[in-house]
Structure 1
Amino acid sequence: MSSFAARCGIHDERREARAQQLSRLIGESGIELVRFVWCDLHGVTRGKTLAAPAALRALREGVGMVSTLMLKDTSDRTAYKVFEPGGAAQLPGFEFASNLILLPDLSTFRQLPWSPATAWLQCQPWFQDGTPVEYDTRRVLQAALRQLGDAGFAMKCGLEIEFHIYKIVDTHAQLDPAQADWPGQPPNVAMIHPGYNLLTESWFDMAEAALRIVKDTAQALGLPLMSLEIELGPSQVEAVFDATDALTAADNMVLFRNGVKQALRRAGYHATFMCRPPFPNIMSSGWHLHQSLVDAKTGVNAFMRESPSHGAGREDAAHSLTTVGEQYLAGLLQHARAAAVFCTPTANGYGRYRPNALAPQSVLWGRDNRGAMLRVIGECADAATRIENRVGEPAANPYLYMASQIHSGLDGIRRQLKAPPATQAPYAATNDKLPTSLAEALDALRGDDVMADAFGERFIRYFTHIKQAEATRLDDAKDKDDFQRREYFSRI
């Protein structure tokens, strides 16, 4: 009888050879446990850990997963009433918390540097009849990349991620059974550096023990880490990664974020990718996504211009971007408000959009302007010419963040949109503003027909339904600070 992977149409001779190779590796390396992991809607890794003998079978047969894991909001509450008649009518296959099957991408196999004799495989969900689950966010990005490929392009992305690391003082409140709640308390923490001394070497030295764990973890996982830096805020740091293809970059973000949290936790630290941790006098963290298109056949940067367009001034996109680059830029601007909820998916993240804070507030672009939402980097004949989107928060699901950029940019290319002049005043009161709340961002997405068509109306309904549950609970919360402390700081 054929394996489940074969019935799904993905198990060919090449995959079988890889499965046999991994079987030998698991046996020869003394691996005892294998984590079969899936990235959920909120960018959190979930899954099951199998003993080595069971893991060998799961390479071909997969691992069962309760389908409600795909229906959770950020509190881990199921946002659909799956046990009520019609409660999951819009989601066939999810009724009554039925099972899905996780099948691993065998190319993602890694041994975890912080967990002895433990390996890791990234998976994607399938229905039991062998059809793919379209709501899986990795599939959403894969579908967007196929559309991009049909247009003759591929995408490269570089990651620039700000986050906070704290030293755990005690976990009494978090682990005291008498204080258990849903969601629970975070640990009590202290800072690893006092902040407000950007890039200072002495603060790096103070934080080096934690940052070495970050470095060692990233490199042991094979991630293209370039630098670790002290950011402006207290206990805030930044990691910068070299550019890769978009799917690899998204996978790397998932692996980095969750791996770093686990490795630091074992050493007595609490890392959070929450945008604005629940303390006074902190600085918001952003995730700046550097992106460019390349010719799918030649790999040549499709944004790079050899010389400025005739008559173009430095305020014009055509001064350093090709026609395709300008059209892509214009598409990002056209759909910026609708895409905001994919770039900043938590209610907490909208506190970052404020003037004169090295964070965007308005829908505009600038030439090497860190106050603008979109920063065009590179002069003529620069092979690294790219667009940096500064709107994202580090908690964003990377697959949805990148897919939103592709769909926005492709619309600009298809409609041959022209970008406005570069801003000289990114915080002017008259500028078209980004959404200021999760609820406003959801409304902007619902009102954008192009994005609904690109992502698919069923996915948009699914996504907005779950995110609306989060927004509604925040609105109803008596203590909104405590809501964010438990829901975001404790978990993200």
Structure 2
Amino acid sequence: MTKTVSIGKKGFIDMHGLWTDEQKEAAERIKATIKEQDIRLIRVAWTDQHGISRAKAMTVDGFLGVLESGLEFNTGPLFFDSGSDIVFNPFMEGGGFDLEEMNGCPNYRLVPDPLTFKILPWAPNTAWILTDAYLKSGKPLPFDSRGILRKAINDFRNAGYDFIAGIEVEWTLTKVEDERLRPELLGAPGFPAETPLVMPAARGYQYHLEAHLDEMNEIIHIIADNLQKLGLPLSTIEDEWGPSQLEFTFSPMSGLEAADAMLLFRTAVKQICKRHGYIASFMCRPQLPGFFSSGWHLHQSIRSLETGENLLNPTNDGDVISEIGKHYIGGLLKHARAASVFTTPTINGYKRLKPNSLAPDRAGWGDDNRGTMIRVIGSPGEGNTRFENRIGEPAANPYLYLASQVMAGLQGIQTQCDPGIPSREAYNEDREPLPRNLMEAVEALKQDDLYSSKMGDLFINYISRMKENEYTRYERFIQDHNIENSNDIVTEWEQREYFEIF
């Protein structure tokens, strides 16, 4: 292996002090691994604003240079909503972003995080690494969702807490009957292609039926083997209620690690399934007859950085969670409407949030109550108290979902926010209703001081415009097709927009 050497010059990473000693040591191990494992291509990946992995495949020689100076990357993907419609004009002053550094659609710099390096077991001689995004000045790109979560986690740790997340996510597995790759079906920017014709991989309406697991056993084994080779802490695989609906759960992980794992999990499962004639979709509710909505229940707990103690364990008899836990939950409930842009970022996801549906329709909490938004879980005396937020959809950007929780929870602790008493009748109580659609959520986000102060006005304006554009295209479709019951059905627009990309 050879690489270009620039004598007497520092690389971008060293120049701006962007790596810790741990990352520097990991980078040296990567160089050895590449040679030992005969790696020939490395996918340098970045998470976009939608939580989707974008990447360039690099030769080894090219990648070794990236380990010094990062990778120059086109700002283009930042302009597009989920249907690749252009939202921002890069040739306006400030590049459409009100940011001088974005004038004229320039490049920015992707800096690899050596701690995320993986060998992809399904792609021969191929590795993968995640990056963080920086402006040419060495400052973080304000639109980088991984950077937003890192800052939130650092603030949480500076307060003395470690954020622990457990991933429990539902998704649908379908068999491809027709790829529909004919030119006339490929759509255009802002009007995604027709989706492949698919069939269910198994029947539904039988929770946890072993026979359905056995029906899908071959592809499930392939997925599980690959996830374990990646080092992801896969715990359980379950047949869910709807046809071809599966639920995967993972052991608890700390902070940024959990979000990285969710991104890699979705990316891996989609690629593995496609190679074997299936489509894995993390769209909340596909436009397929009889299919059910899928959720992403985010389990959360807090540990003391000093002692490692679970700070959610109750200390008073009769309590289901500690005072710190109540205040954290209070923060989540207070900001639930605004956080919906991050927990439920698609138009389709709001069609899941219905009364008596095992999905929440209002911001409440309860003791092991699956109808509430926040469900507290734990067994007395076992020290395992945690809770799950049941509002999320599987298509959520994992970095923004987790960041929204950490930011709201920390503020709840710091202000001793009162969540009220636990709910008994989840769908019949006087609690603040959750947004009924994406535009309601965007309006709530605009009015929320917490997220603008923590994520920055620049980012909140950016993501709001992104979602407004998405919703405008959807409304145009509804009007053009005279659809009157759009809140109760899944439209062709949603299927094209979300089914394959998520």
Tell me, yes or no, if structure 1 residue 368 matches structure 2 residue 368: yes
Amino acid at match of 2:168: E
Aligned partner of 1:178 in structure 2 is 184
Q: Which of 222, 230, 248 matches 2:239?
A: 230
Give the Cα separation in 1 of the matches to 2:364 and 2:25.
Answer: 50
Tell me, yes or no, if structure 1 residue 165 matches structure 2 residue 173: yes
- Aligned-partner SS, 2:383: coil
Q: Which of 76, 99, 106 matches 2:84?
A: 76
Q: Cα deviations across residues 298-346 of structure 1 (Å, max 9, x unaligned)?
A: 11111112442xxx5xxxxxx1211111111111111111111110000
Q: Cα deviations across residues 258-287 of structure 1 (Å, max 9, x unaligned)?
A: 111001100110000000001222210000
Amino acid at match of 2:49: L
Given that 2:118 and 2:230 are in contact with CA atoms closer than 8 Å, whether structure 1 keeps it comes out as yes
Aligned partner of 1:316 in structure 2 is none
Deviation (angstroms), 1:100? 1.0
- Relative to structure 1, the CA distance from residue 142 to residue 15 in structure 2 (aligned partners, 3 Å threshold; closer, same or farther) is closer
Give the Cα separation in 2 of the matches to 1:185 and 1:89.
Answer: 31
- Aligned-partner SS, 2:205: coil
Tell me, yes or no, if structure 1 residue 145 matches structure 2 residue 153: yes
Deviation (angstroms), 1:123? 0.6
Aligned partner of 2:5 in structure 1 is none
Aligned partner of 1:315 in structure 2 is none
Give the Cα separation in 1 of the matches to 2:430 and 2:38.
Answer: 63
Q: Cα deviations across residues 355-374 of structure 1 (Å, max 9, x unaligned)?
A: 22211111111110111110
Q: Cα deviations across residues 108-127 of structure 1 (Å, max 9, x unaligned)?
A: 11110110000000011111
Deviation (angstroms), 1:14? 5.0
Given that 2:94 and 2:102 are in contact with CA atoms closer than 8 Å, whether structure 1 keeps it comes out as no
Aligned partner of 2:72 in structure 1 is 64
Give the Cα separation in 2 of the matches to 1:348 and 1:467.
Answer: 13
Given that 1:375 and 1:387 are in contact with CA atoms closer than 8 Å, whether structure 2 keeps it comes out as yes
Give the Cα separation in 2 of the matches to 1:427 and 1:247.
Answer: 33
Give the Cα separation in 1 of the matches to 2:186 and 2:54.
Answer: 21
In the TM superposition, 1:374-389 aligns within 5 A as 374-389=374-389
Given that 1:145 and 1:406 are in contact with CA atoms closer than 8 Å, whether structure 2 keeps it comes out as yes
Q: Cα deviations across residues 186-241 of structure 1 (Å, max 9, x unaligned)?
A: 21111011100110111111111221122112111100000100000011000000
Amino acid at match of 1:179: L
Aligned partner of 1:276 in structure 2 is 285
Tell me, yes or no, if structure 1 residue 476 matches structure 2 residue 482: no
Identity rate, percent: 39
Tell me, yes or no, if structure 1 residue 193 matches structure 2 residue 202: yes
Aligned partner of 2:417 in structure 1 is 417
RMSD: 1.6
Give the Cα separation in 1 of the matches to 2:52 and 2:373.
Answer: 26
**TM-score, normalised with respect to structure 2:** 0.93
Give the Cα separation in 1 of the matches to 2:424 and 2:157.
Answer: 35
Give the Cα separation in 2 of the matches to 1:86 and 1:258.
Answer: 33
Higher mean displacement: 70-79 or 400-409 = 70-79
Aligned partner of 2:4 in structure 1 is none
Aligned partner of 1:108 in structure 2 is 116
- Relative to structure 1, the CA distance from residue 13 to residue 285 in structure 2 (aligned partners, 3 Å threshold; closer, same or farther) is closer
Q: Cα deviations across residues 383-423 of structure 1 (Å, max 9, x unaligned)?
A: 22011100000000111111111111112111112221111
Moved over 6 A (4+): none
Q: Which runs of 5+ in 2 are unaligned?
A: 1-8
Given that 1:307 and 1:381 are in contact with CA atoms closer than 8 Å, whether structure 2 keeps it comes out as no
- Relative to structure 1, the CA distance from residue 199 to residue 104 in structure 2 (aligned partners, 3 Å threshold; closer, same or farther) is same
Deviation (angstroms), 1:429? 6.9
Higher mean displacement: 9-18 or 221-230 = 9-18
Q: Which of 205, 208, 218 matches 2:217?
A: 208
Given that 1:164 and 1:235 are in contact with CA atoms closer than 8 Å, whether structure 2 keeps it comes out as yes
- Aligned-partner SS, 1:133: coil
- Relative to structure 1, the CA distance from residue 13 to residue 253 in structure 2 (aligned partners, 3 Å threshold; closer, same or farther) is closer
- Relative to structure 1, the CA distance from residue 89 to residue 238 in structure 2 (aligned partners, 3 Å threshold; closer, same or farther) is closer
- Aligned-partner SS, 2:463: helix
**TM-score, normalised with respect to structure 1:** 0.95
